[in-house]
Structure formats: C-alpha cells, structure tokens
Amino acid sequence: MKQQEESIRTVGLDVGTSRIVTACCDGAERGFESQLNAFVRIPHAKMAESMLHKENVPFQVQRDTIVIQGNEAQRFADLFHLETNRPMTQGFLDPSEAESVPMVKKIIETMVGKRNGSRPRVCFSVPAAPLNATESLTYHEATLRQTFDELDYEVRSINEGLAVIYSELEDTNYTGIGISCGGGLCNVALAYLSMPALSFSIPKAGDFIDSSAASVTGELATRVRIAKEATFHFNGHFTDKLQQVLTVYYEDMIHALIAAMKDAFSNAKRMPKLAKPIPMVLSGGTASPQGFRDRFEKLLRASDFPIEISEIRLARDPMTATANGALVAALTEM
C-alpha cells in the first residue's frame, strides 16, 4: 500500500501564456521543467518525419503538415524564419482557436507523463479575472479541467498570485502579496494566513513590452523579445535605441501594475484588517531582468500606496515560483 502511494506522481503545473512549467517532487529533490507554450508548422515529408523521430523532437503529423511543439518550436521557427503560433493569448485559452486545446494538452502530456498506471495528482495555476472586467474565467478553467479528465489526472486549481505566496512566503505564514509578471498578464493576489482575500490580473506584461517596443523600432516582436531576454537590464547606459525603448515600456507596465493595486486595495470591501506591514513578492519572467526589483520598489514607495509594505523581494527563482507554489498546494491539499 505504502509503495503504491509513493509511486503517485504529484505535480505543480503553471499554465502560462508563454511557458508551461512543472514542479515535481522526486524524493527530497524538487525538479522543474519548462516548455514554451508554442507550436510551429512545417510541410510534411516522409524523410523529415523520420529525422525528427530519430532526433527525439516532439511533433505530430496533421494531414500535410508536421506540428512541432514546445521548446523545439522556437528553434525550428528561427531556422525557417517562421513566427511561432501560441495557443493562449493574454493569459487565457482562446475559444476561437480550435487548435489551441489539443496543443496545450500535448505539451502537458509530454511533461507530466504517466507512471505505471497511477493517476498523477496535478495542481494547476489559473489567472485571476482582469481588474474591472466582466469577462469570466469559466471557459479557460473548465476547458483545462476537461483536458485533465481526458488525460485521467486527479486535479485541482490554484490562483496564480496565491501560488506565488505559497512558494515564497512560508516565513510570514503565507501572509502578503504575491505578484507574477508573465507574458500576457500580471497576476496579483493578497492573502492572509494562506487565505486569499483578493486577486486580479492586468493584461499588460512582457508581450505588451515586446509589441510596443517593436512598433517603435520597426522590428518583429519576436526579435525584440529575444534581444530583451538576452540583454535587457535597468540602469544601463544605453548604447542602443532598443534598450531605451524597452525601459520606457517596462516603466509603463510597472506604473500600470502599481495603479491597479492602488485601485483594487483601496476599493476592496473584503480587505482583511492588517495589524502590521506585509511583504510583497515579485516573480515571473518579466520580473527577472537585473534591477527590476529596485525600480519597482522605487516607484511603489513614491506612490501613495494604501497598504504598508514591510519589504519587496524577488522570488528565489522567478521563473518557477508559480509551479513551485502549485506543488506546495498539491502536496498539502490533495
């Protein structure tokens, strides 16, 4: 019986617009894996198919095309000068994209896998509804649940900002504000003793920075993103135009995020009465450039913020905090 229990795989899953990340517990070690939430199509040929197979590139054949998904999609897009396709936009599955669900399913299936017939236990992250928006999360969450049913996983979900709190704020008994700055969205949650009090998202994050900078410099957004990820940092001496333009839109995003928090926290009816200052944690790919935390803190301290903040820290690993928090939730609640 014990043996059987131990073989059940428990996984924290971060389903993001740009990346899908898993956190797994293998013994005492925690392991992380990340795949781009993207795919690319190339024309089908028998020879190409058998070479991809030989090289262990994950792909599917669909009629006259070969579909390559995950991290390899980027490599093949670069090789053949194609844009990658993305199954999600601004944090959510796109109901008008018939292909998006099977793609996400395939990527997740490859990452979570299946072990000797036992049902994996998966806790997946869901974004919060956009601030002041009427649209709901129903389609996104229900569709993911249906997908997990088909894969025969045992699942539960966790709000993304709360997952960041689960990952990083054990020392304050999970009291504080968790923020994930990703590709499509910035997600914010405030929790008191692990209980979520308020959460929301704003549709301004990495993709917004890329497309805005691209429209100014006249480059492709994909190219801007690659340059941004490779070299962007705050407080640089700008030798090229792109760095300066990226700083402008980065600051625009930070201002929007702070303004949204001020709005949400001062108007919330269900805010807990906080006896002392609480910490704030920043995570996600967009929070990872050098100097981001410092710039964020400077702008937040200069704003008339409605809650007393004890410290602003960067997640230990900004790229895996959501998945790690989802794993903490799976291990404690499932």
Residue 322 CB, nearest distance to ligand ADP (Å)? 7
Q: Which helix (H) or strand (E) holds 35?
A: strand 29-36
Binding map of ligand ADP across residues 150-189, x = CB under 6 A, - = no contact = --------------------------------xxx-----
Under the criterion CB under 5 A, does residue 16 sit at the interface with Mg ion?
yes
* Residues pairing with 154 in the sheet: 121
* 66 versus 181: smaller Cβ distance to ligand ADP: 181
* 16 versus 178: smaller Cβ distance to Mg ion: 16
Binding map of ligand ADP across residues 226-245, x = CB under 6 A, - = no contact = --xx--x-------------
Residue 63 CB, nearest distance to ligand ADP (Å)? 29
- Three-state SS sequence of 209-246: HHHHHHHHHCCCHHHHHHHHHHHCCCCCCCCCHHHHHH
* 18 versus 175: smaller Cβ distance to ligand ADP: 18
CA distances from 138 to 10, 220, 242 (A): 25, 33, 38
Backbone angle region of 276, left / alpha / beta, with phi > 0 → left and psi within -120 to 50 → alpha: beta
* 87 versus 182: smaller Cβ distance to ligand ADP: 182
* 284 versus 325: smaller Cβ distance to ligand ADP: 284
Site for Mg ion in 174-203 (CB under 5 A): 182
Residue nearest to ligand ADP (CB): 206
Q: Determine contact, residues 205/184, Cβ cutoff 8 Å.
A: yes
**Residue type at 31 in one-letter notation:** G
Under the criterion CB under 5 A, does residue 127 sit at the interface with Mg ion?
no
Q: Which helix (H) or strand (E) holds 105?
A: helix 100-112
Under the criterion CB under 6 A, does residue 86 sit at the interface with ligand ADP?
no
Under the criterion CB under 6 A, does residue 127 sit at the interface with ligand ADP?
no
Binding map of ligand ADP across residues 5-44, x = CB under 6 A, - = no contact = -----------xxxx-------------------------
Number of H helices, E strands in the chain: 11, 15
Residue 61 CB, nearest distance to ligand ADP (Å)? 27
Q: What token pair was written down for 317? A: 């690993």
Residue 77 CB, nearest distance to ligand ADP (Å)? 15
Under the criterion CB under 6 A, does residue 284 sit at the interface with ligand ADP?
yes
Residue 39 CB, nearest distance to ligand ADP (Å)? 15
Q: In the sheet where 65-69 sits, what is the strand order?
A: 39-43, 65-69, 59-62
CA distances from 304 to 117, 211, 261, 270, 329 (A): 55, 30, 11, 20, 34
Is the CA virtual torsion 81, 83, 84, 85 positive or negative? negative
**Among candidate residues 315, 325, 334, 287, the one with its CA nearest the CA of residue 158:** 325
* 175 versus 288: smaller Cβ distance to ligand ADP: 288
Residues found near ligand ADP in the complex (CB under 6 A): 16-19, 182-184, 206-207, 225, 228-229, 232, 284-286, 288-289
